[in-house]
Amino acid sequence: MIGVDLVEIKRIAELKERFGVRALKRFLSEEEIASFGARAESVAGLWAAKEAVSKALGVGIGARLSFHDITIAKNKEGAPTALLSSRAAKRFGIDRLSVSITHEKTHAIAVAIKL
């Protein structure tokens, strides 16, 4: 399955401006913030990636899958990859998905493919 998501960067910038970096921790791990940074463009891309992963799994973010069940990491070449928590990996029968993230001036988009 394939999942895709589009996020407006301004929305993330406003969230960060209003609530600070602590708001990002509601959907990102410390490792993700350290690895990708807290710039609105990067955060929007990570949000889009997690939403795309949930769609590729056919469930969306909710009771069966949370933002923290999905970790976006960099592989040895620096490309993003999506890793699932052990709970989610067991539930969906996989532990990783292929992800592509990009952004431009106003939006970030991500595509996830269930391997």
Please pick, among 10, 25, 74, 103, the residue that the annotation labels catalytic. Answer: 103
Tokens 């999506």 sit on residue: 82
Among 20, 18, 44, CA closest to 32 = 44
Q: What is the pTM of this model?
A: 0.94
HSE at residue 91, side-chain half, CA atoms within 13 A, is: 15
**Percent residues over pLDDT 90 in the chain:** 87
To the query of whether residue 50 is one of the catalytic residues in this protein, the response is: no
* Per-residue model confidence as pLDDT tens digits over 30-45: 999 999 989 999 999 9
> Distance between CA atoms of 107 and 6, rounded to whole angstroms?
7
Q: Where residue 70 falls among pLDDT bands split at 50, 70, 90?
A: very high
Phi-psi map region of 77: left, alpha, beta (phi>0 left; psi -120 to 50 alpha):
alpha
User: Does domain 2-114 fall into CATH 3.90.470.20?
Assistant: yes
Asked whether the beta carbons of 46 and 33 are under 8 A apart, the reply is no
Q: What is the pLDDT of residue 50?
A: 97
Among 7, 20, 27, 115, CA closest to 71 = 27
How many residues are recorded in the chain?
115
Asked whether the beta carbons of 95 and 84 are under 8 A apart, the reply is yes
> Distance between CA atoms of 91 and 14, rounded to whole angstroms?
34
Q: What is the pLDDT of residue 115?
A: 80
To the query of whether residue 25 is one of the catalytic residues in this protein, the response is: no
Please pick, among 10, 55, 105, 114, the residue that the annotation labels catalytic. Answer: 55
Q: Where residue 69 falls among pLDDT bands split at 50, 70, 90?
A: very high
